[in-house]
Amino acid sequence: MKKEKNFRFIARLDIKDQHVIKSINFEGLRKVGFARDYALKYYNENIDEIFYIDAVSSLFSKKFVRNFLQMACEKIRVPVTVGGGIKTVDQAKKILKSGADKIAINTAAVENPNLLKKLSDMIGSQSVVSYIEAKKNERNETWEVYVNNGKENTGIDILRWVDIIQEKGAGELLVTSVDREGTEKGFENDLYSKLSKKVDIPLIANGGCGKIKDILEISKNKCVDGVAISSVLHFDKLKIDEIKKFFKKKNFNIRH
């Protein structure tokens, strides 16, 4: 049983060419604005963490690392996680040296699970987030792992995959529901309920947040340590201080 921790609110920024983009079910990408502006806005509004994911896996050009990530992390004093296209320990180290606190890995880990072990050994498990995109298989009521920005089905049952990634040393798990991503219809509570029976590391829920009550509902799962939110923040449907005030009144342990 995991000890009680602060419930975390994380802003997720999907990035393409330094712009924040948004989609529904990972389809129909559209630009929202400049990533650095949104990151700074959420930091000033008291977000707990920021999660950058590169939608086209181009983050690791020298230009990006030098001009964008270093600048963003200089001005932001909350934990920053970066994912999208990380394939080697050297790439991960470069991202951390540029100011990120954690790296997130999905596709490359599925292709080579031992990469998680190498990363954990070299940079510490606390800096390694296993980022999973999951989609429901309606035929057998299971969830399967997807890669390449929610487009390719690996056929791997997520419960089996969670056992592997924990064994390999990942320190945190962020799970996105492909079916709920961008829909604002609420979190995939059944998915996280199944995961709660397997997960011993911090678990972040992502995909589907539309209202504060959606966050309240998923928070009832004691194995969920926080939520990653995007569209409702990007389009000003919810404010971070509004969310935090609500949960303070509910006597939640949250970061102030």
Catalytic residue status for 184: no
From 14, 179, 188, 225, the catalytic residue: 14
Chain centre distance of CA 148: 15
From 48, 49, 54, 133, the catalytic residue: 133
Phi/psi at 215 (5° precision) = -70, -40
Q: Which two tokens stand for residue 37?
A: 């502006």
Catalytic residue status for 133: yes
Q: Which two tokens stand for residue 205?
A: 């829920």
Please check whether residue 8 is in contact with residue 225, taking contact to mean a CB–CB distance below 8 angstroms.
Answer: yes
Residues annotated as part of the active site: 14, 133
